[in-house]
Amino acid sequence: MDLRFTETQEILKKMARDFLTTECPKTLVRKLEQSEKGYSPELWKKMAELGWMGLIIPEEYGGMGYTFQDLVVLLEEIGRNILQGPLIATITSIFPILKAGTEEQKKELLPKIAQGELILTTALLEGDGVFDASGIAVKATPKGNDFIINGTKLFVEMAHVANHILCVTRTKDGTSPEKGITLFIVDSKTPGISCEVMPTTAADKLCEVRFKNVNVPKKNILGKIDEGWPIVEMMLRKGAIAKCAESIGAIETCVEMTVAYSKERVQYERSIGSFQALQHKMADMWMAMETSRYLVYEVAWMESEGLPCAKEASMAKAYVNEVYKNISKWAVRLHGAIATSADHDIPLYYRRSKAADIAFGNTDFHREIVAQKMGLV
Amino acid sequence: MDLSLTDEQKVRKQEFYDVCKELEKRKPPSFTGFETIYEDDESWKYNLYCAKEFAKRGWLALGWPPEYEGKGDMMDRVLFAEARGYYGIPGVDIFGVQMLAPTLLQAASEEIKRAFLPPIAHGEVMWCELWSEPNAGSDLASLSTTAIKKGDEYIINGQKTWNTGAHRADWGFGVFKTDPAAKKHHNMTFILHDMKTPGITVRPIPYLDGHAPYCEVYFDDVHVPAKNIVGQEHEGWAVVNLLAGFERSGISEIMSMIRGLEQLVTFCNETKRHGQPLAKNPLVRNRLAELACDLEAARALAYRVADLQNRNEMSLMDASAGKIFFSELGERFAFVATDILGPYGQVKTSRWAPLGGVWEKMFHEHFITTVSMGTNEIQRNIIAWYGLGLPRIR
């Protein structure tokens, strides 16, 4: 047992921190939130040069061939700076392709993703807003060599700038909701697709994507027809861990900023950080950060080693969801009025905590998975 | 990052689990948790029996240097603690094995080490801690019990309190004011003494559930050999801080809760309420799952503390965080479990009590971990002052 980062991970961490400190100031984060695209194509190109989009893509497909654990180290740094953009959407869409893609699909997509030429996203949620298979109603019906997709997806991250959308569809009404689910790789320029950005708490460009008689060739099926749900589960699991990693970085920043501010801010002729009412709250924030961090590292290690970790991944997501919301809330509270201003950086984190909570399943969703996995009938 | 165990560690872990599983079969019904060893004669006997079983395998000296009969490494100690926690097996003296022994190894003279380590390793001598006083709790350094040197002896006078298991212990380690004229923090000495020394009176204090896990101890002209000290004379405060750093990672307590949760899951699956298993109640599911998440987080932090200890990079704030987290999780757990048991959550060990009455017991016992070993509020000060570098008002 050794909980330290490897040398490669230390280098990756330092490189990412240096890069983001210079290239991604909060002024840019704010600008991107307001912008139509929601990301910076110039920055995206530079990130591709650093190999970030291709980090977990094997070398034979033009990637870096790093492990899932390494990815977690990178995402933690991304989370520190709350970099806005389609990185998580793209990376989480890589997992299904790696797992279930044909050789042709991999060769066509992965090198371009690694080069930063393609942005991907996954369309899962619909009107019900649930993360289980019962929410999938968008239909794909066979017609010759094609499938025709009809219906509306919601909360699709960065769909407005994505080149390809992995669309989770219902191809058959089976005996259980999990049966009859099929994934398609859909070119976002296909006629019949329309997209609208939804106004959200974190201004993170979640979209409504409407499919109206959209023709998708059969060869664009990802994995086996009607048997796509296990791929979605895998993506949700890895995505949940990835989101946790990003949250850890954000949590860390909230704690650091709050501690630093409490040492500077003087009231009653002394720094407010000398008052125990605040000290104990900050000790609790730090403790919650540490427990989250090592829980996420443990799960990332399991995932990286290919060990079964559905229960542990859900434990981590359920746990970190609550920690992030609470720590960023307390960061606002301890800063006082100043952090309720839109110009302050802390609210950026507070707003993102809600988005992080929902992405890949909220707390109750994951607690129910834990309940099942721990053997409750 | 690598959380895997080596093949050798896996074998030893299995051995720890196997032996503890066997010992579990000998538990007396009155043993319902670690603290009951101090409260109940049968449980104390069981504790001594387990200690002997562990001692003959060399497991009370895990991680010690070989010249003091040590065996294995720190990681073995963690794995052993896991197994004991999971099966709820006593036999490892918190005070002798877990606190005093590592302190002696680091701070005591060769003579003291040779005299006191073997009886600890052999499970022969049980210890208690004599620190707190009626007017020196969290502010321990303001203690007033004196040990005045006279020839080759110290003569101790005063009173200690909240001494867990003092009525059972053979020996005690305490801090006493040896230089009343000197400045705070440089006026006390860490002294070892036989609890049977004339002049010592031990009075058990009834705990809030009516049992007596701890005592108050009176010293009336108690003569102790002057050589029985650890560290420098008058510099006992440094030894106190050293010992406090050897706090448990909490892994035993966490494993014990993990077992408790497994038993609760079985109970909820097998117990019908409103015509269906209690496990079907969404509120029960959500609350148990939340505890499971917290437990996994606690375990991850305990491994972090253990990993740091293994590499001699002990971080005071991580140890404090671990202590706060597992002890307050114990509180939450006791509340949730006794809630789920409904009216049966109030029944003491008896034929009516589900799961042997352990949760009714835990409803009282959790204070022992939140309040002792430095209250959780003191632990938060440690994180704030020494970890986060926040200013301290003096």
Alpha carbon of B71 to those of A32, A75, B63, B307: distances in Å?
59, 41, 6, 18
Quick check: B131 pLDDT over 90? yes
Quick check: A183 pLDDT over 90? yes
Exposure of A366 in the CB half-sphere (CA atoms within 13 A): 31
Point out the residue among A4, A263, A284 whose CB comes nearest to the CB of B390: A263
CA angle B13, B19, B20 (to 5 degrees): 90
A260 in contact with B, Cβ within 8 Å: no
Distance CA A300, CA B194 (A): 51
- Report the gap between the CA of B268 and the closest CA in chain A (Å): 7
Q: Which of residues 231-290 of B touch A (CB under 8 A)?
A: 261-262, 265-266, 268-269, 277, 279-280, 284-286, 288-290
Point out the residue among A4, A270, A371 whose CB comes nearest to the CB of B289: A371
Residues of chain A with pLDDT > 70: what percent?
100
| Residue pair B265/B288 in contact by the 8 Å Cβ criterion | yes
- In 3D space, the residue among A75, A95, A92 whose CA is nearest the CA of residue A158 turns out to be A92
pLDDT confidence tier of residue B248, bands split at 50, 70 and 90: low
Cα–chain center distance at A136? 20
A376 contacts B288? CB cut-off 8 A: yes
A3 in contact with B, Cβ within 8 Å: yes
A321 in contact with B, Cβ within 8 Å: no
A305 contacts B4? CB cut-off 8 A: yes
Size of interface A-B (CB pairs under 8 A): 154
Position B247 scores a pLDDT of 58
A300 in contact with B, Cβ within 8 Å: yes
Position A61 scores a pLDDT of 98
Residues of chain B with pLDDT > 90: what percent?
84
- Report the gap between the CA of B286 and the closest CA in chain A (Å): 6
- Mean pLDDT of the A328-343 span: 96
Residue of A nearest to B258 (CA): A374
- Report the gap between the CA of B316 and the closest CA in chain A (Å): 12
CB atoms within 10 A of CB A281: 18
Quick check: A199 pLDDT over 90? yes
A6 contacts B1? CB cut-off 8 A: yes
- Report the gap between the CA of A37 and the closest CA in chain B (Å): 37
Point out the residue among B1, B296, B390 whose CB comes nearest to the CB of A5: B1
ipTM: 0.93
Locate all alpha helices (DSSP H) within chain B, ordered by sequence.
7-24, 36-39, 41-55, 74-87, 101-107, 110-121, 236-244, 251-270, 282-310, 316-340, 358-371, 376-382
Exposure of A98 in the CB half-sphere (CA atoms within 13 A): 24
Q: Which of residues 261-280 of A touch B (CB under 8 A)?
A: 262-263, 270-271, 273-276, 279-280
Position B32 scores a pLDDT of 85
SS3 for B125? coil
A3 contacts B304? CB cut-off 8 A: yes
Residue of B nearest to A290 (CA): B301
> Which of B1, B13, B265, B283 is the best substitution to test chain A (most A C-beta atoms within 10 A)?
B1
Run of H or E including A169: strand A164-170
A319 in contact with B, Cβ within 8 Å: yes
| Residue pair A240/A314 in contact by the 8 Å Cβ criterion | yes
Distance CA A23, CA A353 (A): 23
Position B305 scores a pLDDT of 86
Neighboring chain B residues of A283 at a CB cutoff of 8 Å = 324, 379-381, 383-384, 387-388
Point out the residue among B75, B277, B296 whose CB comes nearest to the CB of A315: B296
Point out the residue among B2, B261, B289 whose CB comes nearest to the CB of A2: B2
Quick check: B304 pLDDT over 80? yes
Angle of the B282-310 helix axis to the A276-304 helix axis, nearest 10: 90
B277 contacts A294? CB cut-off 8 A: no
- In 3D space, the residue among A221, A237, A137 whose CA is nearest the CA of residue A177 turns out to be A137
Neighboring chain B residues of A264 at a CB cutoff of 8 Å = none
- Report the gap between the CA of B324 and the closest CA in chain A (Å): 9
SS3 for A98? helix
Neighboring chain B residues of A3 at a CB cutoff of 8 Å = 1, 3, 303-304, 307
Q: Which of residues 324-353 of A touch B (CB under 8 A)?
A: none
Quick check: B321 pLDDT over 70? yes
- Mean pLDDT of the B96-107 span: 95
Neighboring chain A residues of B389 at a CB cutoff of 8 Å = 259, 263
Residue of B nearest to A366 (CA): B289
Residues with Cβ within 8 Å of A192's Cβ and at least 6 positions away in sequence, in order, are A149, A211, A212, A213, A214, A215
Position B307 scores a pLDDT of 85
Quick check: A216 pLDDT over 90? yes
Q: Which of residues 175-234 of B touch A (CB under 8 A)?
A: none
SS3 for B148? strand
A259 in contact with B, Cβ within 8 Å: yes
Q: Which of residues 13-72 of A touch B (CB under 8 A)?
A: 69
B321 contacts A290? CB cut-off 8 A: yes
- Mean pLDDT of the B218-242 span: 96
- Mean pLDDT of the A301-319 span: 97
Distance CA A348, CA A324 (A): 12
Position B33 scores a pLDDT of 83
pTM of the predicted model, to two decimals? 0.94
* Interval B369-389: pLDDT, tens: 999 888 999 999 999 999 999
Neighboring chain B residues of A274 at a CB cutoff of 8 Å = 390-393
B310 contacts A318? CB cut-off 8 A: no
Quick check: A209 pLDDT over 70? yes
> Which of B258, B280, B323, B390 is the best substitution to test chain A (most A C-beta atoms within 10 A)?
B390
Mean pLDDT (chain A, rounded): 97
Distance CA B79, CA A227 (A): 42
Quick check: A84 pLDDT over 90? no
Distance CA B362, CA B208 (A): 12
B76 in contact with A, Cβ within 8 Å: no
* Interval B19-43: pLDDT, tens: 999 999 999 988 988 889 999 999 9
Point out the residue among B261, B303, B384 whose CB comes nearest to the CB of A283: B384
A276 contacts B297? CB cut-off 8 A: no
Q: Which domains does chain B have, with CATH numbers?
A: 7-92 (1.10.540), 128-244 (2.40.110.10), 251-387 (1.20.140.10)
A370 in contact with B, Cβ within 8 Å: yes
B2 contacts A1? CB cut-off 8 A: yes
Locate all alpha helices (DSSP H) within B56-150, ordered by sequence.
74-87, 101-107, 110-121
Burial label for B112, CB within 10 Å (0-12, 13-18, 19+), is middle
Position B249 scores a pLDDT of 72
Q: Which domains does chain A have, with CATH numbers?
A: 7-118 (1.10.540.10), 121-228 (2.40.110.10), 230-373 (1.20.140.10)
B286 contacts A292? CB cut-off 8 A: no
